[in-house]
């Protein structure tokens, strides 16, 4: 049995930490400090068909136990607020739009022609602070997907996500090391005057971005 200390960790970190531990262990106990984290881990476990139990240890401490033994059939559960950063993105395949379904949790591999577009440093509309937090969560969650994109294309304020002092640069660097091509719009980089501050990826032009989006099998863009 593996114990994961996710106390004080914000979504989606507890899910990611639990999932990593499950790769090498049949039973994982994750300690969390927020009730929403217990709900999110429970949902993930049920999607995988694993047994899950939650034990409240104190006012702000829970232990979530996930067991692979005696696994049951996977179930479909209602998305939570945390899933906005993980799976509530939109696929545009040129015909219609649909929600991304949870990954199959197999070995990580690069996709055949799917790309991620980040045209802002905020996800969604409303509170800017929340939008930036969701963007960080989306990119962090992307590193844990079983199928990785072939490209990550950034334009407009999305190029700021590649800056050396950005809280998203380490995850983008990790994706690049896994073979994902990270590219920033040159016009946008010059507009924000951040060329010397980039910490990941390469500069391209809007013609190339347009070409890649036009020929991609799928374009994934966080709402």
**Side-chain half-sphere exposure of 216, counting CA atoms within 13 A:** 24
Write the CB contacts of 193 (distance below 8 Å, at least 6 apart in sequence): none
Task: Say what percent of the chain tops pLDDT 90.
Answer: 54
pLDDT tens per residue, range 6-63: 999 887 788 888 988 888 899 999 999 999 899 989 988 888 889 999 999 888 999 9
Looking at per-residue confidence, does 73 or 32 come out higher?
A: 32
Q: Is the pLDDT of residue 182 over 90?
A: yes
Q: Is the dihedral of CA 121, 124, 127, 129 positive or negative?
A: negative
pLDDT tens per residue, range 192-208: 999 999 999 999 999 99
Contact between 155 and 209 (Cβ < 8 Å): yes
- For 172, the 3-state DSSP assignment is helix
CATH superfamily of 83-222: DsrEFH-like (3.40.1260.10)
Q: Is the pLDDT of residue 209 over 90?
A: yes
The matching CATH number, chosen from 3.40.50.720, 3.40.50.620, 3.30.110.40, 3.20.20.100, for 2-67 is 3.30.110.40
Write the CB contacts of 155 (distance below 8 Å, at least 6 apart in sequence): 117, 118, 119, 184, 185, 188, 206, 209
- For position 95, what pLDDT does the model report? 39
- For position 74, what pLDDT does the model report? 47
The domain locations on the chain are 2-67, 83-222
pLDDT tens per residue, range 98-144: 333 333 333 445 556 689 999 999 998 889 999 999 999 899 888 88
H helix intervals, 108-221: 128-142, 169-177, 186-192, 206-215
Looking at per-residue confidence, does 81 or 121 come out higher?
A: 121
């Amino acid at each position: 049995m593996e114990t994961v200390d996710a106390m004080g960790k914000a979504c989606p970190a507890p899910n990611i930490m639990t999932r990593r531990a499950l790769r090498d262990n049949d039973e994982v106990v994750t300690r969390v400090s927020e009730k929403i984290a217990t709900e999110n881990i429970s949902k993930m476990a049920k999607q995988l068909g694993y047994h899950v139990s939650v034990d409240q240890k104190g006012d702000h401490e829970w232990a979530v136990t996930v067991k692979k033994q005696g696994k049951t059939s996977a179930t479909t559960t209602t998305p939570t607020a945390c899933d906005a950063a993980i799976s509530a993105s939109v696929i545009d395949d040129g015909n219609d739009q649909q929600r991304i379904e949870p990954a199959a949790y197999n070995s990580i591999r690069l996709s055949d022609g799917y790309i991620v577009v980040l045209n802002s440093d905020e996800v969604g509309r409303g509170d800017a602070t929340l939008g930036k937090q969701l963007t960080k969560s989306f990119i962090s969650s992307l590193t844990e997907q079983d199928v990785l994109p072939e490209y990550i294309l950034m334009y407009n304020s999305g190029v700021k996500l590649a800056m050396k002092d950005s809280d998203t640069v380490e995850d983008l660097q990790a994706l690049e090391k896994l073979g994902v091509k990270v590219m920033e719009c040159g016009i946008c980089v010059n507009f924000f005057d951040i060329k010397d501050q980039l910490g990941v990826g390469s500069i391209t032009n809007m013609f190339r971005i347009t070409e890649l989006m036009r020929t991609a099998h799928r374009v994934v863009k966080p709402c």
